[in-house]
Amino acid sequence: MDGLITFALIAFLFALLGSGLWIGLALLGVGWLGMELFTARPAGDAMAVTIWGSSSSWTLTALPMFLWMGEILFRTKLSEDMFKGLAPWLEKLPGRLLHTNVIGCTIFAAVSGSSAATCATIGKITLPELKKRGYPEAITIGTLAGAGTLGLLIPPSIIMIVYGVAAEVSIAKLFIGGVLPGIMLATLFMGWIVVWALLHPDAIPPATERTTFVQKLAASRNLIPIVLLIGLVLGSIYVGVATATEAAALGVVGSLILAAFQGSLNWKTFHDSLLGATRLYCMIALILAGSAFLTLSMGYLGLPRHLAEWIGSLGLTPFWLLFGLMIFYIILGCFLDGISMVVLTIAVIQPTIVAAGIDLIWFGIFLVVVVEMAQITPPVGFNLFVLQGMTDKQITWLAKQAMPAFFLMVAAVGLLYAVPEIVTWLPSQMIG
């Protein structure tokens, strides 16, 4: 009977989501219905307590701060300066300026936290530049689609904060744990560009200009502000002088100083960045509140316990458990955004992960990489939506160009499983 009730509520939830109702409201509505009809606890009282508890977390304060930092930098000349600083160093590398997509996204991801913002910001500068210089459109857009997902993996990451709050694990350790996997994935993307360029030597236009080593060093001064900001945010967490929330506040101050230094800071920039961050945070906060209440409701109905017992009865090894979860999240990602995927499932999945002896920090990074795959899979691939708005291409065509990046992420998951120290080593070295 409990299983039938749970199935009916989940079916109702997907019906609401399919209707276009806001995700947070759909979660709250299904949670309220389940608690009101099938439990003895007053639904209104439980909803008030749960929403207040989920939204008043001190740890969650880092989220709007990092969102604001990304919004401020989104409105500066940062991406243009990055292109100027990186381009001279890529003249002799196979694929040449195609690598600016990956390196630019890697650098911007370290101060953004959002996949969509990373993809849009870097795409605004690289797509017109690469098109003007004669680079093939398909590989240009495909590499940008894949590299844009690094905004989720390289700290500070919005989805890591959401996972850390939901799973009650250290956000600082999650941030540091994402550094090496982020670099590894960026290297895989660059390796693919090198292989593609060697297989299609005539498709890459010749270098239009040669720069001396001194000129390259001079151009690199454009990278100094962003490197300093990354060092301020991540360095303060790594050496133990700041929590993730305090580092977020430092990042906001640093980005305001950077915007002022570049001449981009005025009342309109300040107002627009603050309003943009507020809108995005309100959307995420509503989803988190709805998820917390739905999780409580499902807990009263016994769903987490029943699911954990069912998975436990299958006798899966950690490998097959993770493989099954990867397939599950890839399918789920075809219909939901990454944050919704995490908050909807983590309370149910976490007991099984703990019982299997899987480290929650490692699982958090594994989950982020899998969610990255969902960013470039139709019909709900947020990076594909961003690129569609920038290029007017069909989603199916964009997904086809991003397919190599998808398989590289699958390979990255395999590497993380084979060598878990890629995730766990840096957090174990943290001070404090």
What pLDDT, in 10s, does the model give residues 28-45?
A: 888 888 888 877 777 777
Contact 238, 430 (CB under 8 A): yes
End-to-end CA distance of the chain: 49
CA distance 198 to 264: 40
CA distance 313 to 320: 14
User: What does the pLDDT read at residue 1?
Assistant: 53
Contact 221, 134 (CB under 8 A): no
pLDDT at 2 over 60: no
Q: Which of 114-118, 218-222, 249-253, 310-314 has the highest mean pLDDT?
A: 249-253
pTM of the complete model: 0.77
Q: What percentage of the chain reaches a pLDDT higher than 70?
A: 91
Sole residue written with tokens 């099984």? 352
User: What does the pLDDT read at residue 432?
Assistant: 55
Question: How many other C-beta atoms lie within 10 A of the C-beta of residue 183?
Answer: 15
Q: Which residues contact 16 (CB under 8 A, 6 or more apart)?
A: 26, 29, 30
CA distance 121 to 72: 12
Q: What is the mean pLDDT of residues 89-117?
A: 80
Q: Which of 37-46, 274-283, 285-294, 373-382 has the highest mean pLDDT?
A: 274-283
CA distance 71 to 272: 8
